Structure 1
Amino acid sequence: MTTTSPSGDSVHTVVIGAGYAGLAAALSLVDNGTDVLVLEASDRVGGRVHSQRLDSGVVVDHGGQWVGPTQHRLLAAAERFGCATFPTYDTGDHLELWADGNCRPFRGAGPVDGPGVEQYVEATEAIDKLAVTVDLDNPGATERIAEWDSETVQSYFDRTVDDADARRRLALAVQGVWTVEPRDISLFHLLFYVASAGGFDQLMETAGCAQERRFVGGAQSVALAMAERLGEKIRLNTPVTHVEHSADGVRVDTDRGPVYASHVVVAASPGAAVRIRFTPTLPPSRNRWMERSPMGEVSKIHTVYDRPFWRERGLSGQATVYGDRNVGVVFDNSPEAGEAGVLVSFAYGDRQRRWAALPPAERRADILATLGAIFGDEATNPLAYTEKSWPEDRWAHGGYAANPAPGVWVEHGATGWRAPCGRIHWAGSETASVWNGYIDGAIASGQRAADEIIAAATP
């Protein structure tokens, strides 16, 4: 990889963004014999997936980190490049902390006799029944899209779930997966997302589901291997400011000079893509789609210990937190051999905004107080503490994904979601039909965009 872009380059396809979508598009094109140049604004590849090796040698994932058994594209890439995985630690009791200070052990979705569990399960089963009617390849053809895209998830829960504790469970589920509040997204977007994953439990559970395995070298290890394969075709520290496009080709402007190409794949984070200037202006539906699909709000906080002490007490390290605390979910993020103990805490939506507004010392104290309430005093004295606030990331502008506001799917989805705009093609996890919002979906989107370009070149 290089860190400069000489003036006046000419290639067949420019890919904007070296996250998993951009890397997958570039690899597919290179495998097809197509000349490619990837322009990445930041100083690294991986996008919203970022692994860091701490001074102790422990690797922590600040962004996306898990892979499930049905995420075939990510698993195939990991196999291609020899990136090993290991099972997420899932042995023992999970815990849930309620506002009254009661900390209950549970397995699965929640304690059998826990507050609101019965109606929570009924509600998720009802969601699954609705989700199977969504047309994933042509969402606009879904029979009830206008009805469902006109209702927020919050109003749907208020209308269909009587038990307040069940609604609290459902709200945390929405915060944890979509990193927004239930009021922020439509019922249709929730159903589409659930359908793209293969069911509600696929999004929530560990064994056999989206959180089943982790990467030995961190989730960025696959992206780094993909980038090594692409070599000098990737240029870092090269943000794109302007794309000029016509029937004859595209010109991509950076502060290091222009690049001319036949096609361009925009695989930047939606939060970054919306800030690129296009001449002529993009079609209204594409503009509206980007403008009305804000990035989610999430922070990940890692605390490192000399050992995973919670396992000694028969605990999995997984916890859910209800009430006014800023932490929503906790996972055991220790390395495979358990030579160190690592807990990762998540703050989403309203919780994230409250927490991020605190001074650094108060943020740390807030996280440790919650971990202490769940796991005891030992959790309040970590050897290391790190935090990553994705809304403050210069190029991602949030995470995990962008979420179209209520009404956007029905108003602009047909041509604004991922339809090419002439020689401009769109990639990114948000444009995937399967595993939308996940690394696997990002890879699928890049491969689809590459296929569009390859098809366009076929006589």
Structure 2
Amino acid sequence: MTETDVVVVGAGAAGLAAGEWLAANNRDFLVLEAADRIGGRAFTDTSVFGVPFDHGCHWLHSASVNPFREIADALGHRYLKRASRRAAHMFLKDCEASDEERQAAWEAVEGAFRAAETAGRLGRDVAASRVVRPPAPWKRLANHWLRLLSSLDPDEISTLDLARYSDTGENWPVLDGYGALVAAAGRTVPVRTGVAVTAIDWSGPGVRVETASGSIRARAVIVTVSTNVLASGGIRFEPGLPADYADAIAACPCGYAEKVAISFDRPLPGLEDVAYLDTIDPTDKARPAVNFTVYPDADGLPVAVGQLGGGVSRDLERAGEAAMIDFALQALVDAFGSDLGDRVKRTAVTRWASDPLIQGAYSCALPGKAQRRLRLCDPIADRVFLAGEATSAEAYSTAHGARLSGLRAARQAVSAASM
């Protein structure tokens, strides 16, 4: 049986950060990753468009205090400083919105978040849908952004959880890929990929971690997998996790967020090389809004990346890749002309909800249950430690929240086990 001080389960942003800290502090450890790559929900793909396409995280949220921004600077990893998340273009089906319409739409979006956050700051832990009342013309756009940033629908989003999220308002896209940045940050951490942890026995002193390759005995284990993997029993705990931890995991599920990327063989008229646009069809009230990031592929031609969240994302992902592409392409065809459908070069979609190692997007506390998230960062019997974005009350759903949680868990593990 292999023996070590600490086993880290998962090599995403949290697991890699834990490994970095343990290595820097001369601890004996193993990082085990079930996938054949590192990064977890941070994954940059260059194989389809010849330029970075982030399947998962892409934005340096709260950039001025985001540790990955400092890492990017040190590595020369490029990002774009944006003054606002507001899109420079908005299309109302086949008509570009006026400046006044864009202003009204974005005020509705910001007003929706402000209403939900205000309720939370007043101590109300209710569904965002109970306090958000956007003007009718922009309701679908406001709901789209609520879904996108929380991964669940407004009636599933806790206002208190939303209010606790610490946001400087700086959201900067990582041009060279956030997944590539996470991998570069953890490049010195030794990781055993393709090793799935099936069980963790914490019944006695220390822990025993079971894998298909054998057992590992350690003084502590840091578990960084998603709350959905934990809730589904993807890792068996012996004995089972304490009820308050299990309740906290169930209270903060990973919702749904997917991307649809489409490249074209001609420019999209009226757009800058890097552009951001929102789309709404005012003639079809049942059709959800969708936003796009547009940037050049390796040939200098546009790639449009549509973002889906919440129930819209769930339903389209379950319908399959073709349905996802059709939905996004129709919005672009409406905006830029019917011939655009014949100018598609390449397509790619994400399928996080179907990935058995992830099973969703990022966490969101359910209404009335925000307080339970705080339990996730507490040690279990001083030998089992949870990490990952869901364990960060102020930076959940983000890569930097995951990184900070990994550093926290590593410090806790070493301190608790008196290593």
* Shared fold per TM-score greater than 0.5: yes
2:387 maps to what in 1? 427
SS at 1:111 equivalent:
helix
- Deviation, structure 1 residue 417: 2.5
Q: 1:270 aligns with which of 227, 238, 258?
A: 227
2:260 maps to what in 1? 301
Q: 2:33 aligns with which of 40, 52, 55?
A: 40
How many Å separate the matches in 1 of 2:82 and 2:344?
Answer: 21
How many Å separate the matches in 1 of 2:309 and 2:145?
Answer: 10
- Deviation, structure 1 residue 350: 2.5
User: Contact conserved, 1:18 with 1:45, CA < 8 A, in 2?
Assistant: yes
How many Å separate the matches in 2 of 1:67 and 1:40?
Answer: 24
Q: 2:152 aligns with which of 169, 180, 183?
A: 180
Letter in 1 for 2:46: R
CA deviation digits over 1:202-260, x for unaligned, max 9? 2xxxxxx22x23132x2221232244301xx3111111111111462011101111111
**Cα pair distance change 1:347/1:169, threshold 3 Å:** closer
CA deviation digits over 1:290-343, x for unaligned, max 9? 1333221122111113465345579934224364335622111435x9823211
Mapped pair 1:252 → 2:252 = no
Q: 2:78 aligns with which of 70, 81, 84?
A: 84
Q: 1:154 aligns with which of 129, 139, 145?
A: 129
Following TM superposition, the consecutive aligned residue runs of length 4 or more in structure 1 with deviations greater than 6 angstroms are: 88-92
CA deviation digits over 1:31-78, x for unaligned, max 9? 111111111111111111111112552221111112142242111233
SS at 1:235 equivalent:
strand
CA deviation digits over 1:400-443, x for unaligned, max 9? x1222222224x345x3221102111110111244321111111
SS at 2:202 equivalent:
strand
Unpaired runs of 5+ residues, structure 1, are 1-7, 134-143, 203-208
User: Contact conserved, 1:332 with 1:344, CA < 8 A, in 2?
Assistant: yes
1:15 maps to what in 2? 8
User: Contact conserved, 1:303 with 1:384, CA < 8 A, in 2?
Assistant: yes
How many Å separate the matches in 1 of 2:180 and 2:104?
Answer: 41
Letter in 2 for 1:174: L
How many Å separate the matches in 2 of 1:26 and 1:247?
Answer: 24
**Cα pair distance change 1:362/1:440, threshold 3 Å:** closer
Mapped pair 1:163 → 2:174 = no
Letter in 1 for 2:145: A
2:296 maps to what in 1? 334
2:90 maps to what in 1? 95
SS at 1:286 equivalent:
helix
How many Å separate the matches in 2 of 1:162 and 1:438?
Answer: 26
User: Contact conserved, 1:326 with 1:347, CA < 8 A, in 2?
Assistant: no
Q: 2:275 aligns with which of 313, 316, 321?
A: 316
SS at 1:241 equivalent:
strand
1:70 maps to what in 2? 64
- Deviation, structure 1 residue 345: 0.6
**Cα pair distance change 1:105/1:240, threshold 3 Å:** farther
- Deviation, structure 1 residue 356: 2.6
- Size of the aligned set, in residue pairs, is 410
How many Å separate the matches in 2 of 1:455 and 1:396?
Answer: 29
User: Contact conserved, 2:258 with 2:307, CA < 8 A, in 1?
Assistant: yes
User: Contact conserved, 2:364 with 2:397, CA < 8 A, in 1?
Assistant: no
1:388 maps to what in 2? 350
**Cα pair distance change 1:255/1:326, threshold 3 Å:** farther
1:3 maps to what in 2? none
User: Contact conserved, 2:129 with 2:154, CA < 8 A, in 1?
Assistant: yes
CA deviation digits over 1:340-389, x for unaligned, max 9? 32110112223223323435444433322211112334642221111112
2:241 maps to what in 1? 282
Letter in 1 for 2:149: V
How many Å separate the matches in 2 of 1:173 and 1:56?
Answer: 26
1:137 maps to what in 2? none
**Cα pair distance change 1:67/1:122, threshold 3 Å:** closer
Letter in 1 for 2:103: V
Letter in 2 for 1:299: E
How many Å separate the matches in 1 of 2:8 and 2:273?
Answer: 48
User: Contact conserved, 2:34 with 2:197, CA < 8 A, in 1?
Assistant: yes
CA deviation digits over 1:89-123, x for unaligned, max 9? 9999411436xx6541449xx62355xx6555545
Q: 1:192 aligns with which of 147, 164, 175?
A: 164
User: Contact conserved, 2:258 with 2:350, CA < 8 A, in 1?
Assistant: yes
Mapped pair 1:372 → 2:333 = yes
- Deviation, structure 1 residue 265: 0.6
User: Contact conserved, 1:25 with 1:446, CA < 8 A, in 2?
Assistant: yes
How many Å separate the matches in 2 of 1:92 and 1:220?
Answer: 23
TM-score, reference length from structure 1: 0.80
Unpaired runs of 5+ residues, structure 2, are none
Q: 1:58 aligns with which of 51, 55, 61?
A: 51
How many Å separate the matches in 2 of 1:402 and 1:420?
Answer: 20
User: Contact conserved, 2:206 with 2:220, CA < 8 A, in 1?
Assistant: yes
**Cα pair distance change 1:71/1:103, threshold 3 Å:** same
**Cα pair distance change 1:384/1:172, threshold 3 Å:** same
User: Contact conserved, 1:96 with 1:106, CA < 8 A, in 2?
Assistant: no
- Deviation, structure 1 residue 81: 4.3
Matches within 5 A, 1:353-372: 353-358=314-319, 360-372=321-333
Letter in 2 for 1:269: S
Letter in 2 for 1:328: V
How many Å separate the matches in 1 of 2:237 and 2:218?
Answer: 15
